[in-house]
């Protein structure tokens, strides 16, 4: 009983913290939106929120895949290749059996890539990076071959793309975003407030409306995998064993954990998650399989693993951030310029927090960074189009350089393990 209460109070405080953080973020966005008003109105809107979520899901799934593998001590840079497998098999499954089967078959395709990685790294003891690189070479070749054999024979398909595929379908939440309830269309509460144009409140509702209307069922499933990963990895005995295999495999082995089996399991799950991400891109985002459509998202997922400090919630935050940069540039090129303003304001907030915490050196460098960003914003009127796509990469390098000492990866991550070693 006490354990339950403890868990609940822990949950409450975590939920509270994240709610405050999310509200703070919306406030910063609202303020920035007001500052950038004539230039853009798309910085915070229901459309942007919806696009952000849609763009974030594949990155999130790749990130979760990375976390599963690395928590078991296996570095998986083959995520990109597994996403490609997921995208191809997802599209094929969707064509053959319908969108939901597409998702399932995409997951299976990615998991097969994960199994290959596990056989090489765990079974044969090949270096993790080398095996990952090999899978990234093999997967696109296999996808091209299969496209030629399968898609090229069908109307609308070719050697680099599939015919169009159906998506799994969207849903509106009842009462909040005008969803249907037994055939009756409920009022669209968030949409109504959004239209009022009240500072902050309307923006908040715009975001909520964006993420509660026209939500793909697959998105909901992907989001549910975040708490599911947390619970499985941190609250079940199998999760404990997986993490033990990644922290100290020798100790885990001495306690009777079958380390090989745990690593196999985690890496196959990792591949399956990446495959889901790939299938999501093909089925939900674009409605077609197209060669190279994963665009390095597997690597961005890897970035969110580090960015999020090997925590599923961290990967979620990272993927939303990167999804936001992606969505903004897709919807409104001029809005990208106001990203500089946003980044400047955000860094300034961090600088104020550093002053509050009496960390003078951090405060000075943050203030300088904020000044630089705001100066850049004020002297330019548009930002180079090459910048938004590489925000994840820049952000990850910055995090590693300036906060690297505060990250903690699993202790035996990336190390070769043979049963019976000392």
Partner 1 sequence: MSVRRILMAAAAPVVAIVFSVAISSVVLLIAGTSPLEAWMEMLSYGTRLETLVATANRATPLYLAGIAVAIGFRMNLFNIGVEGQYVLAALLSASVGAAVDLPAALHVALIMLVAMTVGSLFAGVAGYLKVTKGVHEVISTIMLNAIALAAVGYMLRNWLIDEADTSLNMKTPEIPPSGRFPNLNGVVETFTREITRGRELWGFILVAALVGVIFHLFLTRTRVGYDLRATGLNPFAAEASGVDPKATVMRTMLLSGAVAGLIGLPEVLGDSYKYDLAFTRGLGFTGIAVALVGRNHPAGVAIGALLFGWLDSAAPILDVVGDTPREIVSILQGVVVLSAVVSYEVVNRVRRSQEARDAAAATRPKQEMEA
Phi-psi region at 235: left, alpha or beta (left = phi > 0; alpha = psi -120 to 50): alpha
Q: How far apart are CA 206 and CA 30, in angstroms?
A: 11
The contact pattern for partner 1, residues 248-287, with x = CB under 8 A and - = no contact, is: ----------------------------------------
Comparison of 75 and 321: residue with beta carbon closer to partner 1: 75
Q: Which of 284, 283, 273 is nearest to 95 (CA)?
A: 283
Instruction: Report the alpha-carbon distance of residue 353 to residue 363 in Å, rounded.
Output: 8
Spatial contact of 30 and 198, defined as CB atoms under 8 Å apart: no
Reported in sequence order, the residue ranges of 194-331 that DSSP labels E, i.e. its strands, are 215-216
Interface positions, 113-142, toward partner 1 (CB under 8 A): 116, 120, 124-127, 129-131, 133-142
3-state secondary structure of 150: coil
- How crowded is residue 361: how many other Cβ atoms within 10 Å of its Cβ? 8
In this structure, are residues 299 and 63 in contact, taking their beta carbons and an 8 Å threshold? no
Minimum CB separation from partner 1 for residue 371, in Å? Answer: 23
Residue 16 touching partner 1 (CB under 8 A): no
Show the site string, 49-88: x = touches partner 1 by CB under 8 A, - = not.
Answer: --------------------------x-x-----------
In the three-class reduction of DSSP (H, G, I as helix; E, B as strand; rest coil), residue 124 is classed as coil
Q: Which stretch binds partner 1 (CB under 8 A): 6-14, 50-58, 373-381, 388-396?
A: 388-396
- For residue 267, the minimal CB distance to partner 1 (Å) is 15
Nearer CB in complex with partner 1: 109/191: 109
DSSP state of 418: -
> In this chain, which of 240, 352, 387, 415 binds partner 1, going by CB under 8 A?
387
What are the beta bridge partners of residue 218?
Answer: none
Binding of residue 187 to partner 1 (CB under 8 A): no
DSSP-derived secondary structure letter, 171: E
Q: How many residues bind partner 1 (CB under 8 A)?
A: 43
CB of 396 to partner 1, least distance (A): 5
d(C-alpha 303, C-alpha 40), whole Å: 29
Residues 135-174 that bind partner 1 (CB under 8 A): 135-142, 144-145, 148-149, 159
Footprint on this chain of partner 1 (rule: CB under 8 A): 75, 77, 116, 120, 124-127, 129-131, 133-142, 144-145, 148-149, 159, 296, 299, 302-303, 306, 384, 386-387, 389-390, 393-394, 396-397, 400-401, 404
């Amino acid at each position: 009983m006490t354990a339950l209460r403890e868990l609940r109070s822990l949950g409450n405080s975590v939920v509270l913290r994240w709610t405050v953080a999310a509200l703070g973020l919306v406030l910063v966005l609202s303020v920035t939106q007001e500052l950038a008003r004539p230039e853009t109105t798309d910085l915070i809107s229901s459309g942007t929120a919806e696009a952000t979520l849609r763009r974030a899901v594949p990155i999130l799934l790749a990130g979760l895949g990375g976390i599963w593998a690395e928590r078991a001590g296996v570095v998986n840079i083959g995520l990109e290749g597994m996403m490609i497998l997921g995208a191809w098999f997802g599209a094929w499954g969707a064509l053959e059996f319908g969108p939901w089967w597409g998702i399932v078959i995409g997951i299976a395709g990615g998991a097969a890539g994960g199994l290959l990685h596990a056989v090489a790294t765990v079974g044969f003891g090949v270096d993790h990076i080398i095996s990952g690189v090999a899978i990234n070479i093999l997967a696109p070749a296999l996808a091209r071959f299969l496209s030629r054999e399968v898609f090229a024979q069908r109307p609308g398909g070719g050697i680099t793309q599939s015919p169009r595929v159906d998506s799994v379908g969207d849903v509106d939440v009842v009462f909040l975003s005008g969803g249907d309830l037994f055939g009756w269309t409920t009022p669209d509460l968030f949409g109504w407030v959004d239209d009022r144009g009240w500072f902050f409140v309307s923006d908040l509702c715009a975001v909520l409306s964006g993420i509660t209307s026209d939500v793909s069922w697959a998105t909901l499933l992907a989001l549910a995998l975040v708490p599911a990963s947390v619970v499985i990895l941190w609250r079940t005995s199998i999760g404990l064993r997986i993490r033990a295999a990644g922290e100290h495999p020798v100790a885990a082995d001495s306690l009777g954990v079958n380390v090989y089996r745990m690593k196999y399991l985690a890496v196959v799950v990792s591949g399956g998650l990446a495959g889901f991400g790939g299938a999501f891109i093909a089925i939900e985002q674009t409605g077609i399989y197209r060669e190279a459509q994963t665009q390095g998202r597997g690597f961005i997922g890897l970035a969110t693993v580090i960015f999020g400090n090997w925590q599923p919630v961290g990967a979620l935050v990272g993927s939303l951030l990167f999804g936001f940069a992606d969505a903004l540039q897709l919807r409104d090129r001029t809005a990208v310029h106001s990203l500089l303003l946003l980044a400047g304001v955000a860094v300034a907030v961090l600088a104020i927090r550093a002053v509050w915490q009496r960390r003078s050196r951090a405060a000075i460098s943050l203030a300088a960074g904020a000044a630089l960003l705001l100066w850049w914003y004020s002297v330019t009127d548009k930002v180079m189009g090459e910048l938004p796509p590489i925000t994840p990469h820049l952000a990850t390098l910055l995090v590693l350089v300036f906060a690297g000492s505060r990250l903690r990866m699993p202790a035996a991550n990336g190390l070769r393990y043979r049963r019976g070693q000392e």
